[in-house]
Amino acid sequence: GNLADYALLERTLAEYEINMVFHLAAQTIVGIANRSPLSTFETNIRGTWLLLEATRRNPTVEGVVVASSEKAYGQPHYLPFTEEHPLHGNHPYDVSKSAVDLIAQTYAHTYQLPVAITRFSNLYGGGDLNWNRLLPGTIRSVLRGQPPVIRSDGSFKRDYVYVEDAVRAYLTLAELVGQPGICGEAFNFGLGQPASALEVVETVIRVSDIPHVQPLILDEVRNEIRDEYLHAEKACRLLGWLPQYDLESGLIRTMGWYRDFLDSQQQRT
């Protein structure tokens, strides 16, 4: 169904007696958002208020966890981002996440809907088939013996969270969302160890045991923030969340998944 179909959202929540909602649906690609802001705003912003309104009207819902993003902060006034940093997105995707974040807070504070918000660093792990991302695009290129492509100049820094750590964060937050001090709050989730795009690619190459591959640096990025990374002390203190995987150990597990996946795809052809 369509996230912008309010009747469908309300009927689904009611007919399946949903008690916990994880709102992860979005247009998630920065480049697409720059090219197509209207569809991004329609899905990310309007889709969010429609879903929250449907949950507000459904008595079975006991909590909602809404996916915002570190990009909701926009250009950094300081780094690492803390939850107190203003939400000042400038470009279409960033603005959509700033709006999502504020709308979710509105439903918590105005209507006492049990909502909590996640602001994650870049997520990676098996199952993501959007090859335009640095991860998993680099992994596929390296496993094929091809030069991985870096769209920036290689120096842009990001923090990365392995998907299993992200799942634990979502489940923990869902269990606690109705408690005082959690409801209506936003939480950062990140390692606090930013790596440049070139460092990420070099780590992929190192753990792949295919050392002869060299990256192709395009330096063509526009409308992207140079450095982004988070402070996750609040999540650690209030939720007891700590990442279990650093970048290298997460990439080793991720590499194994994509190696198996690409091998199975090749066998089918």
- In the chain the first and final C-alpha atoms are separated, in Å, by 31
Mean pLDDT of 67-73: 97
Per-residue pLDDT at 249 exceeds 90 = yes
The pLDDT, as a whole number, for residue 180 is 93
**CA nearest to 232, candidates 265, 188, 263:** 188
Q: Provide the pLDDT for residue 49.
A: 98
Mean confidence (pLDDT) of the chain: 95
Single out the residue of 216, 232, 226 nearest to residue 196, CA to CA.
Answer: 226
Residue 267: pLDDT above 90? Answer: no
Catalytic residue among 93, 160, 229, 258: 93
Helix axes 247-268, 134-143, angle to 10 degrees: 60
**pTM (two decimals):** 0.94
Comparing CA positions, the residue from 188, 197, 200, 176 lying closest to residue 229 is 188
Q: Which pLDDT score is estimated for 96?
A: 98
Residue 208 has pLDDT above 80, yes or no: yes
Instruction: Kindly state the tokens that stand for 160.
Output: 């990365």
Query: Residue 97 burial by CB count (10 A; 0-12/13-18/19+): exposed, middle or buried?
Result: buried
Q: What is the pLDDT of residues 103-142, one digit of tens each?
A: 999 999 999 999 999 999 999 999 999 998 999 999 999 9
Quickly state the pLDDT bin for 157 (edges 50, 70, 90). Answer: very high
pLDDT at 29: 87
pLDDT in tens, 164-203: 999 999 999 999 999 999 999 999 999 999 999 999 999 9
Residue 93 a catalytic site member: yes
pLDDT of residue 164: 98
Q: Please compute the mean of the pLDDT values over residues 144-160 and round it to a whole number.
A: 95
Query: What pLDDT does residue 158 have?
Result: 96
Average pLDDT over residues 73-88: 96
pLDDT digits over 5-31, tens only?
999 999 999 999 999 999 999 998 888
pLDDT tens digit string along 214-246? Answer: 999 999 987 778 899 999 999 999 999 999 999
